[in-house]
Chain A
Amino acid sequence: ILNVEQSPQSLHVQEGDSTNFTCSFPSSNFYALHWYRWETAKSPEALFVMTLNGDEKKKGRISATLNTKEGYSYLYIKGSQPEDSATYLCASPSRTNAGKSTFGDGTTLTVKP
C-alpha cells in the first residue's frame, strides 16, 4: 500500500519568514512526485512534477527538492507573503497508464501580515 505523508499538518508564519515542509513516500518503485498548491474554492494548482533523484525545481520564491532513495521531498518558500497562504499537497502518481495519484494530508500554511 502506497502511503504518502506530509508534515507539519499546519504552519503559521509571519510575512517575510522562510519556511519548509516535508512529504515522505515509499522509495521502492518510485515514479514521480507532484506538489500542488490549493486555495479554498479553487482548483489545486500543480507547482512541480519531480521525477529524478536529486531534482531541484524552482518557481519564483518556491522551490522543491527530491530524494527518491530515502523517500522524501521538501518544499521551501522564501520570504513568505500572505498570498502564499494555502494548503500544499504532495501526491505520488502510479506509473501505470491509469496513473492514479495517492495524496498526502496536506500542509496548511497561514502567513500573517
Chain B
Amino acid sequence: EPEVTQTPSHQVTQMGQEVILRCVPISNHLYFYWYRQILGQKVEFLVSFYNNEISEKSEIFDDQFSVERPDGSNFTLKIRSTKLEDSAMYFCASRSASVLGNEQFFGPGTRLTVL
C-alpha cells in the first residue's frame, strides 16, 4: 500500500543551524502539507503546497521557513536558522485531487530537537 515517508526520523541540531526535513509523498498525490506538533500541544498546520507553489500558510510559517518540491518526488521543509522553539515533531501529508472530505495521508514524522 502506498505511504508517505519522511527522513530523518530524528534530527538534532544546534540553534542557528539550517535543517532540511524530507518527505516523499504518495506518487499520484497533488496536494502536500507540513504540520508540526510541539510536545504537549495540538498538531498545527504550517503550509500547503500545490502546483509548485504555496497555497496557504499559517502565521508560524515565517521567513525562516521554506518548502520545495525539487524533483517531482521529494517535498522538503527548510528551516534557515533554527530556534529552540522549533523543537517539535514535523509531519508531512499528501492527498489526491477532488477527494470527498479532503482525506490526507500522513508520514511518520521527523522529531526535530534544537539544542
Q: Point out residues on A near B: beta carbons under 8 Å.
A: 31-32, 34, 36, 41-44, 46, 49-51, 89, 91, 93-106
Q: B104 to A101, Cβ gap below 8 A?
A: yes
Q: A46 to B4, Cβ gap below 8 A?
A: no
Q: A104: which B residues are within 8 A, CB to CB?
A: 42
Q: A43-B4, A43-B108 are in contact. Are A102 and B45 (CB under 8 A)?
A: yes
Q: B48 to A99, Cβ gap below 8 A?
A: yes
Residue pairs across A and B with Cβ atoms less than 8 A apart, 7 shown, are A31-B102, A43-B4, A93-B102, A94-B102, A98-B48, A98-B50, A100-B48
Q: B100 to A100, Cβ gap below 8 A?
A: no
B106 at the interface (CB under 8 A from A): yes
Q: Point out residues on B near A: beta carbons under 8 Å.
A: 3-4, 9, 31, 33, 35, 41-45, 48, 50, 55-56, 58, 91, 95, 100-109
Name the one of A44, A51, A97, A100 contacting B101, with C-beta atoms under 8 angstroms.
A51
Q: A96: which B residues are within 8 A, CB to CB?
A: 55-56
Q: B101 to A50, Cβ gap below 8 A?
A: yes
